[in-house]
């Protein structure tokens, strides 16, 4: 437990340093892109430590790029630092609540750790927060195949997860945060839904 706390503190410091270093860098998006490309080559070569450093430098130049945050998380995961990777995937989703690669990678990480129920909760929360996004259904179908479980995609989900209320609460809160970031999309979706209902009468 203490080691997980230390890694959490280290990740927090990393994000803080990235934020503080941005004004002093002055390199712009071009440098971030170059560092990200270097990181990709290092990642493909299996040098995950070097790749992580390069991806972190990319984030210094462009801290609101969800792809860069995702790449940092992927390198962390390959290094075996699953806690930091999970937190960085969440950070990527905070930047972009619709970032599909982060949802899949985080769900896969949870499954690999024997937390399939939380993986289903994560994707379910995303589906509930962004019901008009077709990628949510794609990812739910992928997750069902990944875990070889026959969960329903609608009403059955509540029954399937009712046994783990603590996880349900966590991802409901997560869905609420995402929903607040896509409020305009939700409003437009509601208008479309009302029109559909009216047309069917």
Is the pLDDT at 140 greater than 80? The verdict is: yes
Look at residue 28 in the predicted model and tell me its pLDDT: 53
Beta-carbon contacts of residue 91 (< 8 Å; ≥ 6 apart): 15, 69, 73
Q: Round to whole Å and give the CA distance between 47 and 201.
A: 61
**CA neighbours closer than 13 Å in the CB half-sphere of residue 32:** 22
Contacts for 139-145: CB closer than 8 Å, 24+ residues apart: 139/100, 139/103, 139/104, 139/107, 142/104, 143/107, 143/111, 143/119
Exposed/middle/buried for 27, CB within 10 Å: 0-12, 13-18, 19+?
middle
Structure tokens at 115: 């937390």
Cα–Cα distance for residue pair 65/22, rounded to 1 Å = 13
CA neighbours closer than 13 Å in the CB half-sphere of residue 96? 15
pLDDT tier, 103 (very low <50, low <70, confident <90, very high otherwise)? very high
Q: How confident is the model at residue 148 (pLDDT cuts 50, 70, 90)?
A: confident
pLDDT on residue 147: 87
Q: With bands split at pLDDT 50, 70 and 90, how would you rate the model's confidence at 65? A: very high
**Stated pTM of the model:** 0.66
119 against 155, higher pLDDT: 119
pLDDT, tens digit (0-9, with 9 covering 90-100), for 34-52: 999 999 999 999 999 999 9
Q: Is-contact 103 66, C-beta < 8 A? A: no
Q: Which residue has the higher pLDDT, 143 or 176?
A: 143
- Asked if 141 and 123 touch (Cβ cutoff 8 Å), the reply is no
Mean pLDDT estimate for the chain: 77
Structure tokens at 39: 């990181």
What is the average pLDDT across 15-33? 59
Share of the chain above pLDDT 70, in %: 59
Where does the pLDDT of residue 26 fall: very low under 50, low under 70, confident under 90, or very high at 90 and above? very low
**Is it the case that residue 173 has pLDDT exceeding 70?**
no
């Amino acid at each position: 437990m203490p080691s997980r706390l230390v890694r959490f503190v280290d990740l927090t410091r990393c994000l803080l340093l990235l934020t503080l270093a941005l004004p002093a860098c002055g390199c712009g998006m071009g440098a971030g892109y170059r560092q990200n490309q270097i990181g990709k080559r290092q990642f493909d070569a299996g040098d995950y430590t070097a790749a992580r450093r390069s991806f972190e430098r990319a984030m210094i130049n462009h801290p609101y790029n969800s792809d860069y945050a995702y790449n940092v998380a992927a390198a962390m995961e390959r290094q075996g630092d699953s806690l930091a990777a999970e937190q960085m995937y969440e950070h990527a989703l905070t930047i972009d609540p619709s970032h599909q690669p982060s949802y899949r990678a985080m769900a896969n990480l949870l499954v690999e750790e024997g937390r399939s129920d939380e993986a289903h909760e994560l994707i379910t929360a995303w589906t509930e927060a962004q019901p008009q996004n077709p990628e949510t259904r794609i990812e739910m179908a992928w997750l069902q195949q990944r875990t070889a479980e026959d969960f329903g995609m609608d009403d059955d989900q509540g029954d399937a997860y009712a046994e783990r209320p603590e996880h349900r609460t966590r991802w409901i809160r997560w869905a609420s945060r995402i929903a607040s970031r896509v409020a305009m999309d939700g409003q437009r979706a509601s208008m479309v839904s009302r029109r559909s209902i009216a047309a069917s009468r």
